[in-house]
Chains A and B, each alone.
Chain A
């Protein structure tokens, strides 16, 4: 089952010899790691959908909506910090860009909210390039301070300009409307009447957050995600592997910016008003804490972190007063004792079926492999199971190179 290599790979002077044996299919099903995570995700999704039927009070739904917005922000920052290893201390600036762009377009220019979505994305891509362009060549610690400076620049600018409403910000951001119908009108579905903008925002937030979570997960496992992690682990080695580290970093930055911008637009509609105070450095730090505490580069960890950071002050009123102090101490403690976070990216849940190491074929032509001293040890090879690929039995075959 050789895949169509020429469709998948660009022309390259050297192709690998065929593998000596076919690897078994990766584990699947609910007791494998990916299967279990899918199941968990589906359950969480179902719970979110069911929540309004359990407790439809405006308070609950509203908290849940802002928690989802936080999760969206955390997923975006996770790309920047967790995967690409770039410490961004001004991340909230992109949230601000999203919120202000959609706010200004819908109030000043009277655009419908849905039309503001592509504009928000475009603005965030641009903001990512403008902020990332000059700064991403810097060393990691300089980057942290410069992004912090940029975050403050954006906030102070929003505070000083007229078009952004100055210190009082923008009010009366309209709700979503499609033609004549808007969220305010409610909807009759399956004999049920859905009403109240709060509920609609909640569903929009579910959709956006789900897309955000699944999207980041997919990107992280693909070609681009590997490049991000390579840059994080060793920039020089990544460069030596043909990865343009600068563009890779900018791509991570742009993804982070777009995710934050969409979250910003959600928040602008959810709260109908925005002001510069919502984009203080504190919030950048809060999102960063969520990502770090949960586990950088770990989707479940970051979701848990985001939920914790957003829900804890609501659920524990006492806690709200102390939260920044506690978060500060937690950051230090976690970094010293559990730097990979609560749910590390490399975690393998203990009750799941463990992945089985590949077995080498018995008759693999070890001598021709450039194998080490083990090649001389005959009997060890006898213990290996039979090869899955007959090709492996022919020593001459592994020299076959498609050029």
Chain B
């Protein structure tokens, strides 16, 4: 399976990655090779194998529902580029 340049452009855009036009061919080839590898793996009959959700064969540990975090807003906002009246400020996003 080969990935078209257009698809690479779209994936890059969704991930907000800026890619040089001159690199597109190389990315398309590299990514296509990965897909080819998956195709090869897909040949193996895995019908009786339970899909794995995580490489560690363990289950999630849970924590009790307790408030343990204190307000550290001042510290967090000291390193933010633009803060006003307790809010983080970003360029206007219009829905």
The answer to whether A and B come from one shared complex is no
